Structure 1
């Protein structure tokens, strides 16, 4: 077997593999013997089909299969042994690949087009300056978090008379044109209303100052401006029946409840954080500030990596790529999407490829490796942030472990965790290499950077 590589230019090459019968004969013979042991044909017992008959019937297919297996093994072994940094996958050469006929040929020549990664050096040092955004946690944000916790831990108290935002429960009954309960009309027991959210101010005012046992008259259709979803839900009717439902309804108030936010006391502190770790309102607010600041570090690091990407891409400059090959590879990989897809997405794919190659160099230069423990830590951190968004700070470690293990069972999530872990480690490493141009910024202005 003869394998040769010819460089067409700096980023293109042709790999040729010439194969003689002696290279694959033993493999074909073994494959035929293995096939014979399992083969079953009319007139012969299993395993007793004459070899000559098998060769005549199946020899061509088995030879083709074994030659292709050997070809794949030698192709990728050569690429690995010679440290060829290829882009995409080898493709049969459009110019040099000869026709193959397993019926008449015993010697074969296979030619593959290769795309080689461009040579460049991505380096950073203390002379390189990159912006780093320090997101500020202000009192308004802390107030918002405090309110979220007090509302989450709040309760509903029974009251005697209605005020705005109270919830009322009672008996709804459809009325006829004379204002009497309509025979066979719609009735709903334990109907729940939040008058404050009615769209019609006149109907909303019907409930002002009402008390338990009062009987009120209002029109649901007017109250909700004919909105079918809200009216159907309230009256327990089908949405298509809403337009015809224009009747007034009586509402006998049976219960009025008012939401009361939880007090800022030790009971709330212990609900939100580990018991005893916070013992005052000041400490509660400081702890919230600390957690928010910690969460924002991940956002700042993400923006930092994006800025490093832009900085290094500009520093490296425009790289040479084998455009014809890469477009061909995109067409093969996205055969169902057509030529238009390739033309519309090629430039973007080159941007991503350039960053991928730069990142590969950085990861190697700084010895970044991702172990299973890193994936678990990243998964747990993502889970903690997600829980924190819903006000759950003191999440048990066992629950975090369970969520992390579930994420690791899904291949697409594993790939995402690997990328996130690599970028986390890369960010930590590069922050100690480049000069950071710290910029204080509000969360609102920080979010505008991504608009």
Structure 2
């Protein structure tokens, strides 16, 4: 057997494997003898069929199987012995495989494309700058959230006369009769210059309007029409009121507090504000941590400047997902895949170089944390904790063990990022919700 490596570039190569008869024939003969001992062939007692007959019947399929086994193990062992890091899976050169004559050939040549990276270097230290954000809760945000909660738990009424923030249920018609639609119009989505037309209306009242100007939000979602129909909602229309819907805000009393947080958890308006502020800050800070971590990953990826074998990886993604994705989809999604792959390489490199290891106990704790978050609003705290071990066990065994491996990888990434932050120049910054939205937008 001969195995040779032919590097085409800094990250792509071909592995060529040459097999002669001595490499595979002993294994083929042994397998055929074993077949002969077990074969049930008409005209012969079980296990008494001549090996020559068994060879005629099964020789080619046994040859193919044994050569494939030899190729798989040999290629795997050879690649493991290399210093570079293999990406994806080796891709057999199909054109060469199609030319094989399994009946007559004694020597076989196989070729595989591979993609790899080597010399991955990740520099840590003060030159690596990062920002750890935390939220500075605005009282207006807290008040707005409480207002929304009161609206969600409020009572629906049907007043005689419309006011700002009501919902008007009625018929929108084009003057020329080309369009007619019955829907519920939120007055909060009506442009301020047109809003006064909709205040003080009663059932049966008719308003003239140009939907494209009067409705400030997306016409598609507001009116419930297609993009094509929305494009035609311009010009003279009328809206006839059939009904007025209003939500009366829930009272700030103990019944409302208990509905939100459970019996006795909050007992005053001040306690309500504090609880809402605490929950909002916790949720925003979780989002900010994810945002900060992603920015740190971006800097590490830029610093490492890993030269991925793009052409190879795109072909591998297409062939590995045969029939499930198109070349256009691979092209579109490749930047996201490349970023994730680069981070995986960096994380593994840092974990290996600094003896960072995800332990089984860490996986258990992270899974518990995930499950608690999923059930946070269910009110099943005590019952959940009593059955936590069962939930964790079921989840980690799910998806044929892939859930466990994904959680293990997640724990390693957490530990690697914590290690990086210890070495990097990290500054703390408190920001408002508006500033956070700006950061997300950029």
TM-score (norm 1): 0.65
Mapping for residues 377-396 of structure 1, pairs under 5 Å: 377-380=368-371, 382-383=373-374, 392=377, 394-396=379-381
How far the C-alpha of 1:424 sits from its partner, in A, is 3.7
Instruction: Give me the whole-angstrom Cα distance separating, in 2, the residues matched to 1:230 and 1:46.
Output: 77
Residue among 369, 377, 398 paired with 2:358: 369
State how many pairs are aligned: 393
Distance in 2 (CA, whole Å) between partners of 1:344 and 1:163 is 49
Show the 5 A alignment for 1:148-159.
148-155=148-155
Note the residue ranges of structure 1 that are not aligned, 5 or more in a row. Answer: 168-192, 208-216, 232-247
Q: Distance in 1 between matches of 2:241 and 2:95?
A: 83
Verify: 1:436 aligned to 2:421, yes or no: no
Alignment of 1:322-401 (within 5 A): 322=309, 325-326=312-313, 328-330=315-317, 332-333=319-320, 350-364=338-352, 365=354, 367-369=356-358, 371=360, 372-380=363-371, 382-383=373-374, 392=377, 394-396=379-381, 398-399=383-384, 401=388
Structure 2 residue runs without a partner (length 5+): 168-183, 212-218, 224-239
Q: Give the CA deviation at 1:397.
A: 5.3
8 Å CA contact 1:97–1:112 kept in 2: the answer is: no
1:201–1:6 Cα change, 3 Å: closer
Query: Distance in 2 between the 1:204 and 1:2 partners?
Result: 86
3-state SS, counterpart of residue 86 of structure 1: strand
Change (3 A) 1:280 1:9: same
Note if contact 1:19-1:109 (Cα within 8 Å) is conserved in structure 2: yes
Q: Is the 8 A contact 1:15 1:111 kept in 2?
A: yes
Q: Is the 8 A contact 2:157 2:246 kept in 1?
A: yes
Change beyond 3 A, Cα 1:76–1:158 = same
**What is the rounded CA distance, in whole Å, between the counterparts of 2:122 and 2:336 in structure 1?**
20
For 1:290 and 1:103, the matched residues in 2 are separated by: 75
Post-superposition CA distance 1:47-83 (Å, at most 9, x none): 5544321211220121111210222122213333556
Q: State TM-score, norm by structure 2.
A: 0.66
Give CA-to-partner distance per residue, 1:110-161, whole Å, 9 cap, x none: 44343231312113224422122222211122213323444444456999x8
Q: Is the 8 A contact 2:37 2:46 kept in 1?
A: yes
Mapped partners of 1:201, 1:257: distance in 2: 17
Check the 8 A contact 2:130/2:427 in 1, yes or no: yes
| Alpha-carbon distance in 2 for matches of 1:89, 1:6 | 17
- 1:296 matched to 2:284? The reply is yes
State the Cα RMSD in Å.
5.2
SS of equivalent to 1:291? helix
Describe the SS at the equivalent of 2:101.
Answer: coil
3-state DSSP of counterpart to 1:449: helix
Q: 1:281 aligns with which of 244, 260, 269?
A: 269
Measure, in 1, the Cα distance between the counterparts of 2:392 and 2:142: 29
Contact 2:38 2:47 in 1 (8 A): yes
Measure the CA separation in 2 of the matches of 1:308 and 1:203.
Answer: 50
Decide whether the 8 Å contact of 2:162 with 2:199 is kept in 1.
no
SS state of the match for residue 124, structure 1?
A: coil
Q: What SS does structure 2 have at the residue aligned with 1:450?
A: helix
CA distance in 1, matches of 2:83, 2:186: 73
Cα-to-partner distance string for 1:341-377 (whole Å, 9 max, x where unaligned): 6666666654444333223223433614264415513
Distance across 2 between alignment mates of 1:338 and 1:288:
47
**Change over 3 Å in CA distance of 1:56–1:280 after alignment to 2:** same
Q: 1:445 maps to which residue?
A: 435
Report what 2:52 is aligned to: 52
Distance 1:353 1:66 in 2: 34
Aligned 8 A contact 2:318 2:327 in 1: yes
Deviates more, 1:123-132 or 1:396-405: 396-405
